[in-house]
Amino acid sequence: MSIEILTRLNPRISQIDNIGISTAGGITSSDIAAACAGIDKTGELIILAKICGYRDVHEPLFYRMYREAIDLAIKGNWKVGERGEDRIRSVLQLAIYESVTQLVCPSCKGTKQNPANPTKSCIPCNGIGKWRMTDEQKAAVVGISKQAWSKTWQYRYDDMLLLLDVYEYKAKRKILRRLK
């Protein structure tokens, strides 16, 4: 089981298996819990969502991250307007969704190659093998114009993704050290 967790945590190996990491495989939550013992709760929730595909951890993860998103807003002196908190909530939900869901690109099936020409990158996913929302879709979900998204919210969204990445990185580092 340790091997399987290691495999899923290591992006280079999951690239080789070509199936992406969209399925939970044989890993149970108790395997992850054992591997995560002692790591930060936020990091554990990210790992559970990402590796086990658990949807019910999105909400607790959201509440933990919301406080941090508000901190970002205060420190960055964000001008958020009337519906500011709603916007922060929606953008954070998007960031969490993008960070923890591993939806395989329907065009290349996760291979990252252009189906018509395997020497070229897949166009819809830009060669990352994952399905991603477009900027237009993100703006629509948040309820703002594409211009407002690109000008104001894109970088705030990126800051939230970065925070999530840091938690994920720290959690993975601890787990890998423990499993080696």
Enumerate binding residues for Zn ion (CB under 5 A).
Answer: 105, 107-108, 122, 125
Residues 6+ apart with CB under 8 A from 36: 43, 44, 47, 48, 171, 174, 175
Which residue, 45 or 108, is less far from Zn ion as judged by CB?
108
Q: How far is the CB of 125 from Zn ion (least distance, A)?
A: 3
Which residue, 18 or 152, is less far from Zn ion as judged by CB?
18
C-alpha neighbours within 13 Å on the C-beta side of residue 137 = 6
Q: How far is the CB of 142 from Zn ion (least distance, A)?
A: 25
Residues 100 and 49 sit within 8 Å (Cβ to Cβ): yes
Q: How far is the CB of 20 from Zn ion (least distance, A)?
A: 10
Residue 93 has a CB neighbour count (10 Å cut-off) of 18
Which residue, 87 or 112, is less far from Zn ion as judged by CB?
112
